[in-house]
Structure 1
Amino acid sequence: AAEVCESREVGGGGVNQLLSSSVCFDCGIDSLNMLVNQIRSFSTTTQLGSLARWYQKLWRSKGPTNGPPYAHVTQVGDPVLRQKAQLVPPEAVTSPEVRFLVQTMIDVMRKYSCVGLAAPQIGISLRILVMEFKDKLRDEYTSAEYKIKEMDKLPLTVLINPELKVTNYKKKSFTEACASVKGFSAEVPRYSEVLLSGLDENGKSKELTLKGWNARIAQHEMDHLDGVIYTDVMDRKTFSCSCWQAVNANYGRVQIAFHKK
């Protein structure tokens, strides 16, 4: 999920800002098991009725516990982050359930100040990602850092069943973090330029040419859809606690919050 929401840092700044991102749908598609009940306005037409049965078959409620899609970010260790997310069926792309899921992803991404998020990061194993790099983030980096990392504004982007093609195989390494590996970061090599395509929230084809930081966000989020976390491809010697200095300065009295009001 990017925490590239993974956290705002798929790279870095003085205080590591995690970029969070992340996605999943296997034989049971347990990730979506609570969605039908949460969408009270679900239509009973023949077409949507078949979709309802599809969702109910894929989702298995496990009781009155908090179920996905979550309003928080799932953490490493959750099986959903290691599943290869399934494609969203064509007839479901513009369904009320998927629209609800997409809006939840956007809300969580913004709530946790992420630049990207994949559906598995809120407990849903489907191939959906959202990204957004606001212009105001420029103030959180030095001019030199903004330039060397090739950062640029990226309007809110929603892609369903996305595909990524590398267009420049030159790799660059910068610090990344992930909202699903809260409190840590590491240097990760990524391709310089990519072509990202898929369907938007209205079912229309969309294609983006991305380079630099935005290409990094896209790769981070696409990894989430394949069950890959940045720790799988990082330079292991650079893996570190993002707040280690604060831990020392405060005699260890530091807490990492997994919930944000």
Structure 2
Amino acid sequence: MSEKPMSLSVRVEELLAADGPLPIVAAGDPVLRAVAQPYDGQLSDALLGRLVTRMRETMLAAPGVGLAAPQVGVPLSIAVVEDAARGPREALEARGRVPLPFRVLVNPAYEPEGEERAAFFEGCLSVPGWQAVVARHARVRLRGLDEQGAAIDEVVTGWPARIVQHETDHLRGTLYLDVAELRSLSSNAAVAERWSQPGPETAAAALGFPLV
């Protein structure tokens, strides 16, 4: 007789048993390629709160500005986002990067608001050491719930819109490399040395990839 599959609650309890940041799943693990289960109360409120807290700690320790539950091996449609928006003023302005307070996104979905797109380098905690240019919607309408079950329905712009799209894509089984200009793929060291300009125009000309 086969063993009964482990419940999500038990799996999450085991994940949270160890102290410190949670292990981040790297590209190649099937959990990153599956559509996450819609969250409908699979965890108790207390356990959900503990998971969210540890996800935030893991995101900040990495460091990153977003983390989806599948990235820590939990196949639920939950993500956390937060961005202090630190860096050179010129780059922040070019990217529309403004502070994004910590928030939890449950069962998020987005749709574009308008036709404008913006292309910039971005990376992923599940693909460490690399960055690539991704053209994303400059404005999106975000819908979903927060961790308390309250509805989210708002328009997000600039870099926060990029973060929302990146993390929501994770919950659909999509990695940023799936939608990136692969000719732009660069190591973190190469980006720091060669492509640290506010925008990717210099990289596009040198590496031969199109911009929006």
Pick the TM interval, shorter chain.
0.7 to 0.9
Q: TM-score, normalised by structure 1?
A: 0.65
**Secondary structure, counterpart of 2:82 in structure 1:** strand
Q: Does 1:79 align with 2:30?
A: yes
Q: Cα distance 1:245–1:128, how it changes in 2: closer, same or farther (>3 A)?
A: closer
Conserved in 1, the CA contact under 8 Å of 2:9 and 2:42?
no
**Secondary structure, counterpart of 1:158 in structure 2:** strand
**Secondary structure, counterpart of 2:138 in structure 1:** strand
Who is 2:39 aligned against?
Answer: 88
**Secondary structure, counterpart of 2:136 in structure 1:** strand
Who is 1:22 aligned against?
Answer: none
Conserved in 2, the CA contact under 8 Å of 1:94 and 1:203?
no
Equivalent-residue separation in structure 2 for 1:33 and 1:78 (angstroms): 20
Q: Cα distance 1:33–1:241, how it changes in 2: closer, same or farther (>3 A)?
A: farther
Who is 2:186 aligned against?
Answer: 240
CA RMSD of aligned residues (A): 2.5
Q: Cα distance 1:35–1:111, how it changes in 2: closer, same or farther (>3 A)?
A: same
Conserved in 2, the CA contact under 8 Å of 1:72 and 1:122?
yes
Shift of 1:97: 2.4
Who is 1:35 aligned against?
Answer: 12
Gaps of 5+ in 2: 194-212
Q: Does 1:225 align with 2:171?
A: yes
Shift of 1:223: 0.7
Q: Cα distance 1:120–1:37, how it changes in 2: closer, same or farther (>3 A)?
A: closer
**Residue of structure 2 aligned with 1:180, choices 114, 121, 126:** 126
Q: Cα distance 1:208–1:133, how it changes in 2: closer, same or farther (>3 A)?
A: farther
1:137-173 CA-partner distances (Å, limit 9, x unpaired):
33x2x22211111111111111111121211221111
Shift of 1:95: 2.3
Conserved in 2, the CA contact under 8 Å of 1:161 and 1:198?
yes
Q: Cα distance 1:175–1:38, how it changes in 2: closer, same or farther (>3 A)?
A: closer
Conserved in 2, the CA contact under 8 Å of 1:185 and 1:242?
yes
Q: Cα distance 1:29–1:80, how it changes in 2: closer, same or farther (>3 A)?
A: farther
Q: Cα distance 1:231–1:39, how it changes in 2: closer, same or farther (>3 A)?
A: closer
**Residue of structure 2 aligned with 1:146, choices 74, 82, 92:** 92
Who is 2:60 aligned against?
Answer: 110
Amino acid of the structure 2 residue aligned with 1:123: G
**Residue of structure 1 aligned with 2:112, choices 155, 166, 169:** 166
Conserved in 1, the CA contact under 8 Å of 2:123 and 2:132?
yes
**Residue of structure 2 aligned with 1:211, choices 154, 157, 174:** 157
Conserved in 1, the CA contact under 8 Å of 2:129 and 2:187?
yes
Moved more, 212-221 or 235-244: 235-244
**Residue of structure 1 aligned with 2:49, choices 99, 102, 117:** 99
Equivalent-residue separation in structure 2 for 1:206 and 1:95 (angstroms): 19
* Identity score, percent: 34
Who is 1:201 aligned against?
Answer: 147
Conserved in 2, the CA contact under 8 Å of 1:166 and 1:195?
yes
Shift of 1:214: 0.6
Equivalent-residue separation in structure 1 for 2:128 and 2:16 (angstroms): 30
Amino acid of the structure 1 residue aligned with 2:162: R
Gaps of 5+ in 1: 1-27, 41-65, 248-261
Q: TM-score, normalised by structure 2?
A: 0.79
Q: Cα distance 1:209–1:147, how it changes in 2: closer, same or farther (>3 A)?
A: same
Amino acid of the structure 1 residue aligned with 2:102: L
Aligned residues between the structures: 187
Equivalent-residue separation in structure 1 for 2:171 and 2:103 (angstroms): 16
Q: Cα distance 1:87–1:185, how it changes in 2: closer, same or farther (>3 A)?
A: same
Who is 1:10 aligned against?
Answer: none
Q: Cα distance 1:35–1:238, how it changes in 2: closer, same or farther (>3 A)?
A: same
Conserved in 2, the CA contact under 8 Å of 1:85 and 1:227?
yes
Conserved in 1, the CA contact under 8 Å of 2:23 and 2:72?
yes
Amino acid of the structure 2 residue aligned with 1:79: P
Q: Cα distance 1:208–1:34, how it changes in 2: closer, same or farther (>3 A)?
A: same
